[in-house]
């Protein structure tokens, strides 16, 4: 603040008068906003977190599907076994269907379908060829795929759910297979 002094020039009076004027300095112009990180890194972080979230959703979806099918598969109905646990790309496997009950005729109603739930992939349904004691299924999943397998008949009755998640090996590595134990072993 600055004080300005004025002298009153009216006749017969000699007074000193002080008037105050207030001058406010203007703020400095705004500076450009500079962040300590680039927006590219921030976007990559957000995309990574959303990818991780999607992976968790897929993982828990597989667990839910596995749990639902295990509950459905506990009633009377069909059971199935593969000739081997070592699955390779393009391999044709023998599948045997049997009854889960003491009644040997309770093997479901043909035609049968093999369901393969691929982790991070698309579930596939494959019609089965042959008679219940000797059917075939071809592995149509690429090397490194993880599969959860089950079977249904034409009435929608489910067979048991595989108690493992199968890992598909390459065609040349015939004796290399990873068998991963799953929740209910």
Task: Report angle CA 82, 85, 86 to the nearest 5 degrees.
Answer: 120
CB atoms within 10 A of CB 164: 18
For the chain, what is the mean pLDDT? 73
More confident residue, 143 or 38: 143
pLDDT, position 20: 57
| Cα distance between residue 183 and residue 123, in whole Å | 20
Model confidence pLDDT, tens digit, residues 18-52: 555 566 777 777 766 665 555 566 677 677 777 77
What residues contact residue 108 under an 8 Å CB cut-off, 6+ apart? 77, 78, 97, 153, 154, 155, 157, 159
59-181 is a CATH 3.30.1130.10 domain: no
pTM, to two decimals: 0.52
**Exposed, middle or buried by CB within 10 Å (0-12, 13-18, 19+), for 130?**
middle
* Domain segments of the chain as ranges: 59-181
Per-residue model confidence as pLDDT tens digits over 96-107: 888 777 665 667
Per-residue confidence (pLDDT) for residue 11, from 0 to 100: 56
């Amino acid at each position: 603040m600055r004080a300005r002094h004025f002298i009153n020039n009216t006749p017969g009076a000699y007074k000193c008068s002080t008037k105050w004027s207030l001058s406010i300095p203007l703020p400095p112009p705004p500076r450009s906003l500079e962040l300590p990180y680039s927006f590219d890194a921030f976007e990559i972080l957000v995309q990574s977190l959303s990818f991780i979230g999607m992976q968790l959703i897929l993982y828990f979806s597989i667990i839910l599907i596995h749990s639902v099918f295990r509950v459905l598969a506990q009633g009377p109905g069909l059971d199935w076994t593969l000739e081997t646990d070592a699955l390779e790309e393009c391999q044709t496997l023998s599948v045997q269907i049997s009854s889960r009950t003491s009644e040997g005729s309770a093997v479901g109603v043909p035609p049968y379908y093999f369901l393969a739930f691929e982790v991070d992939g698309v579930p596939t349904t494959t019609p089965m060829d042959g008679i219940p004691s000797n059917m075939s299924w071809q592995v149509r999943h690429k090397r490194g795929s993880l599969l959860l397998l089950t079977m249904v008949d034409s009435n929608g009755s489910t067979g048991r759910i595989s108690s493992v998640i199968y890992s598909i090996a390459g065609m040349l590595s015939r004796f290399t297979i990873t068998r991963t134990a799953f929740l209910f072993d």
